[in-house]
Structure 1
Amino acid sequence: ARERLAHKVAVIERALAARGCGREPARVLAALGGLELAAMAGGFLAAAAHRLPAVVDGFIASVAALVAVRLCPAAREYLVFGHRSAEPGHAHALEALEATPLLALDMRLGEGSGAALAFPLLTAACAMLRDMATFGDAGVTR
């Protein structure tokens, strides 16, 4: 496992050096990321610009979120992490984002499955904040 990781790191470092993009997030994304990563990173930035939360689902989405946060650190406040994938790299992305996902079910299905499972938790949390009586409203004294 360590040899595979070392090989992957070496391949990425060679690709970054060959493209001369350094560590600047937009240049790294342009050099090594696909259109889907750029679109997701842009979506996270757009959500933050409109002060809307965005659910980040899984490893690839977390990598796109990391790019977005490296481009605009304030975007981090608008990201909710749906689940921790079983993919080994996901833990590293979450750590870099200082993120604790809502769920950890060892899934690696993709297709937004973690976000789909996390969304009812977010809906319930919003309902509690909106509808739950305070101690004062409920007449609780001690």
Structure 2
Amino acid sequence: SRFLFKQNRVRMICDCHAKPVKVIQSEELRQSLCLVNSTLRLPHGCHTQYMANMGSIASLVMAIIVNGNDTTRLWGLLVCHHTSPRYVSFPVRYACEFLMQAFGLQLYMEIQLASQMEEKRILKTQTLLCDMLLRDAPFGIVTQSP
């Protein structure tokens, strides 16, 4: 499912109790129809049960993607639930996807900053240890006596 959220970053379930619509495929097609990238595909049975257990009928799920160093990784999900059927229009979903991209970029920058600060802290500690060793001249190490 991580792969699916990288491909289709916004997923909407308008009504988990809605009756599924059967898709009839042309017999002329060589490969079976794939609805993986469809926003309105039928939710998995266990997901429908999960929503029912929460008293949720509609949901909008947006992937938080962090891009960096030639990698794209799913960092998390922003999930919105509602207790009645809801349809979110395409322009609103598109705006939400844009906001998630901006958030992912900001998150990446924060992660990079935290990493740089940690690296700086480690270098400072190493420098301090080296200074202590050079300043205090531990002759016991060289002479093998205390």
State the TM-score, normalizing by the size of structure 2: 0.29
* Pair member with larger Rg: 2
- Which is richer in strand? 2
State the TM-score, normalizing by the size of structure 1: 0.30
Identify which of structures 1 and 2 has the higher relative contact order when contacts are C-alpha pairs closer than 8 Å and 6+ apart: 2
